[in-house]
Amino acid sequence: MSIRNAIRHGSKTLRPWFNTKTGTSLDFRIKAANGCYIYDKNNQPIMDFTSGLMVTNLGHNNQYINNHMKATIKSGLTYFPPSVLTDSRELLSEKLINISPYTNGKVFYTSGGADANEAAIYFAKHHFKDTPTKSRILRFDKSFHGGSTYISSYLGGDARRNEKLNHYSFELNTDIMMPNPSMSDNGKSSIEKIEHLIHNEHESIAAILIEGSSGTAGCYVYPPGYYTKLETIAKTHNILVIVDEVMSGFGRTGKMFGFEHSNGNPDIITMAKGITNGCVPMGAAIISEKISNDFKEDIVNNGLTYSGHPLACAAANACLDLYDNKLLNHVQSNSKNIKRRLNYIKISYPELVKDVRGIGQLYCIEFNDNNVYYIHKALLKKGVYTFFRDNNLYIAPPLVISERELLITLEKLDQVCFNIWNAINYQ
């Protein structure tokens, strides 16, 4: 195939998570982006109603971030090994510690969210290195913590992998999935099951991994007191708490981090996505003093070539200037509008909508049957891009979306739901 044809038909790129049967609606080409919009090849604006994959919290093409990145390019320092200090990386670590609950924590950088979580697991397991039986990681049913493969470093022939051997020996049985909480019983049944599990098996559990606010699983909101109870149960049994803020961090829920809704005090916080607004890939794990103390003597046998890349640090330093209280208040105000309209949609189209859930600007509509695909497709025809998974359609626009843009797009969503509900009932 000629190069021109290959480009036109997109035949040489294996798209991640791409479903050839349902993914055909994604066969439009994006040529540019600005603010809350992406632009197709005819220069038609499409509202990016899920911030890509809940990444571009500050909108596309943000000039303040671009200028920071340009200054770094101009300095010539666009790469150096991560074990060497740079001012920009130190500044970023300082800023991240300042927004964390720790005074003497440290920051470990990665290239994205999956490896930030893997690093967190490494730190947790290293913390219990003298108790190798304490090796399991509890996580929630349907949760998503990354799409890479955990064994990449074990596959190598590098002698340092021997130190990691026991890191890969933990069980990943389905019995260690924690059930998501339900609002209907204020999370009681979920917490009881988790408490029972931990009570019986705490000697084999190193950490619980929980999202700051549930995302891909279906935006299950933690009922009041739920997270606090979980943290207390874990700490009582000498189990570490790792909070994954990859999706829920950086203002997405109306607070800087999701766990702040419960005044949480986890041992490790992982992040990615909004940390750079997606301009350059970056992930990070902020570790508490308790965990960082483990490395006063021990070597950090972990790391990536691009950990804390200079361009990513430049973008992240700019982003952290922009995540301020004004923006967080704006998200909280937008959240009320989203919640009101989604609840209206749920009540109006019960045959179509099973449930709506969320917080801040991280919501989802769970549809009955496979209707989500038709809704997604119809929205695209109306110039609205959304991400969907299973039967859930996500509503997670850039945090900077104006109230007017938000209301107009919610109106389009309502119209699309009405049309499909009408077709179901009166076909």
Ligand X SMILES: Cc1ncc(COP(=O)(O)O)c(C=O)c1O
Cβ proximity to ligand X: between 147 and 224 the closer is 147
Member of 58, 246, 322, 416 binding ligand X (CB under 6 A): 246
Task: Dig out the tokens for 36 from the structure.
Answer: 């809350």
Q: Is 118 a residue that touches ligand X (CB under 6 A)? A: no
Q: Is 112 a residue that touches ligand X (CB under 6 A)? A: yes
C-alpha distance from residue 22 to each of 194, 324, 369 (Å): 36, 39, 14
Which DSSP letter does residue 166 get?
A: G
Cβ proximity to ligand X: between 283 and 378 the closer is 283
Cβ proximity to ligand X: between 114 and 124 the closer is 114
- What contacts 167, CB < 8 A, 6 or more positions away? 121, 122, 125, 154
Applying CB under 6 A, which part among 66-74, 94-102, 229-237, 242-250 lies near ligand X? 242-250
Chain centroid, CA 272 distance in Å: 7
- What contacts 384, CB < 8 A, 6 or more positions away? 46, 47, 49, 409, 412, 413
Cβ proximity to ligand X: between 53 and 77 the closer is 53
Member of 146, 264, 274, 397 binding ligand X (CB under 6 A): 146
Q: How far is the CB of 328 from ligand X (least distance, A)?
A: 20
The Cα 96–Cα 100 span in angstroms is 6
Q: How far is the CB of 146 from ligand X (least distance, A)?
A: 4
**What is the contact mask toward ligand X in residues 119 to 138, using x (rule: CB under 6 A)?**
--------------------
Applying CB under 6 A, which part among 17-25, 63-71, 144-152, 252-260 lies near ligand X? 144-152
Member of 49, 144, 250, 259 binding ligand X (CB under 6 A): 144
Q: How far is the CB of 396 from ligand X (least distance, A)?
A: 11
The Cα 38–Cα 32 span in angstroms is 6
Which DSSP letter does residue 397 get?
A: -
User: Which residue's Cβ has the minimum distance to ligand X?
Assistant: 113
- What contacts 130, CB < 8 A, 6 or more positions away? none
Cβ proximity to ligand X: between 44 and 149 the closer is 149
- What contacts 69, CB < 8 A, 6 or more positions away? 279, 280, 311, 314, 315, 318
User: Is 89:77 a contact under the CB 8 Å cutoff?
Assistant: no
Size of the site for ligand X (CB under 6 A): 16
Summarize as ranges the residues that interact with ligand X (CB under 6 A): 53, 112-114, 117, 144-147, 211, 215-216, 244, 246-247, 272
